[in-house]
Structure 1
Amino acid sequence: MVAAAPPPAMPPAEAVTTLVTPARVAPHGWTTYRVRPGDTLDGIAARHRTTIGALVARNHVRDPGLIHPGDRLQVPRTSAARSGSTPARSGTTHVVRPGETVSGIAARYGASVSGVLKANGLTARTLIHPGDRLVVRGSRSAPRTSAARATKRSTGGAGRTYTVRPGDTLSDIAQRYGTTAGRIAAASHVSTRSLLQVGQRLRIPGASSAHPVPDSFAGVTYPDAVVAAARRNHATLATRSVPSRSQVRELVARTARRHGVDPRLALAISYQESGWNQRAVSPANAVGVMQVIPSAGDWASSLVGRRLDLLDAEDNVTAGVVMLRALGRSTSSTRTTVAAYYQGLASVQSRGMYADTRHYVRSVMALRATM
């Protein structure tokens, strides 16, 4: 995590203790949380429906602005444990790989995004990181082989140098280059717990043997020209600064309100599509936060009266939002609008919703209720 200015002064733990009681702060008791790269105390507090003060008091935190990956914190349980123990978790365990999002993992196992979030006690704002273990309850017990092949990495290659920018974390950089935070740390002779400094130079180990953008997904293999264009876009986005997930969330909501679109719907679709990640590129060359393909980008450009750059986060979000607005005006229900965004309006009108479209709609509608 890049070193930041010190946070505002906070009362000592002893003072905070007098303001809260265990029953009010943690009605379901406490559990242990392991700090991940990129975590902040306020983010952990929001995720576990508590306050920074309560975490400071419970964990005797000396400096709320300085927590490290691997630290263990006591946090409130967000729901009652079953049979007096931790909640039961059944299903397939998936180990998160570099570049993966919750929506991509859900699609790979035939599960819904909302189902994966619920099964793991996550929210749409939760960051996942390489090495995390997620329980997935889907219609398939293993991921599709094409997707699994796409995530294989090689340890070979000469590598390259990267200069740290504001907001960078090791996990973000690793995701960008298809490697792991541990490998970058080892190659750069730093610790995974180290604070990164703007301008610091890191060594990115070896190129991947398989491109981060595969040539197929969900059983569909895409034309060489389409995949090549997708890989060019992926390479371009890897070199650009992009907004953080929280910044993307604000951007989507703001853009939706400006164009008269339900912000919760736009947030749900953008999360389902990319996990609010502007660097996401699919084998179909669907790009960015809203996963817009070039032809759809041309249509969106005609709707706003100017050329939209899908590699720019603001333009990408604008494209998705104005398409949602146009689809909403051409359909009789929100569910049909969502289906049309995924499957195409003409296809939905002539053929009805495909099975995977119905699954997509259910997931988006469930996410919308949480936004």
Structure 2
Amino acid sequence: MTMSRSPKQPPRPSLPMIAATTAALPAVVLSSLALAQPATAQQPAKQLPATLRAAMKAQAAQASASVIPASAVSAAIPAAFKPAQPAAPAEYTIARGDTISAIAGRFGLSTGEVLRLNNLQANTIIYPGQKIKLKGGSSAAPAAPAAPAAPAPPSSGGATYTVKAGDTLGAIAARHNVSLGDVFAWNNLSMRSIIYPGQKIKVSSGGAAAAAPSPAAAPPAALASTSSPAGGTYTVKAGDTMSAIASRHGVKLSELLSANKLNAGSIIYPGNKLTIPGASAPAAPQPAASSTPLVPSSFLGFSYPAAVVNSANENKARLNASPVPSRAEMQNIVADTARRMGVEPSLALAFAYQESGFNQRAVSPANAIGTMQVIPSSGEWASDLVGRKLNLLDPYDNATAGVAIIRQLLATSKDRDTAIAGYYQGQYSVSKYGMYDDTKAYVAAIKAHQKNFR
């Protein structure tokens, strides 16, 4: 990964991962080593070198552009950027760790179709060695004893949404611009309800009166005593989130955050007292929930501009609130992307492993985002390289951005080691000052990782 670095080598043996950049090669990222070694509280933050401070000041001036809006996250991955899927066999033998939804996804099938084809329910238990059908008629006998039927889909009368693997009720409500409480009411669900792929969820009332929530959907007595629709205060409980609390009380999340002087990156703890907007002020002021930033403001003694760190925290909060691929899935995405773009998969995997350990939720104090740890300005450069706008919060686009930069460095550097160093230190800095000691260690690490992925 690269980020802005002082052009002159200081007298100490090595520096954190920082690199001078030019318009031709924007900074790329803060590596996984940085993520693994947060700055300790005992060491006072040092001032950034003048050249790095100037570069960060320029980035801070465009901080608003560095925050990727949630609306920019695509709901579906374009077909051209999905990994190739193998053809589905007529019959499949269950292996240890398999799930019906994972099997269906592996072969590009609908989970609901596989369940119906084998007369299974969403909560039916499958076991290694069991054979299931992936093609053919649905008249086959059950492959395993059926468990109790799952909840019936909601009655007609409004728009519906078919649940997909990884969905949550909160995400479904947000996607359709309705409150989570309404989704509960229209579907007779509660916070404890379990949804499954293929299930139909009502996402509008359809003009008819909303179904009355079942007793399970009603808030517990302890909750009712601490809050009311008109406002008041609420005591945070284990498992609570700000969005869930806002939905439960019928207020906007932004209003709830503002009333408690919190932001999207704030962390709440059980026992915190929250003010619910819309009620008269409490008799005695309640302390605001303590907040801890998701991303620290310094690393290895270097402090970063508040605007950059704030952007990093907002992007981290968005990734934390979004479903992302597992590390194993990200590894496949990076490898497939590299193959499509003509880069050795083992080399791309080595960078992804070094930068984040295949963690798409990784965000550094320099606002380096995702698996490939690319900062927004470098994302713009990568977008120019591939000829389309890339969204670094999207796992496929994040892999594309990193691989595009690797490919360009390989094409424009004098040798492979220099290209690898350019991802970390910056191509211009390497060409002018040579590799710093920490850059040499980075190059050695990438080459060692590549051998493990061949």
Q: Provide the TM-score with structure 1 as the length reference.
A: 0.48
Structure whose alpha-carbon radius of gyration is higher? 2
Q: Report which of the two has the higher share of helix.
A: 1
Taking CA–CA contacts closer than 8 Å with sequence separation of 6 or more, which of the two structures ends up with the larger relative contact order? Answer: 2
Q: Provide the TM-score with structure 2 as the length reference.
A: 0.40
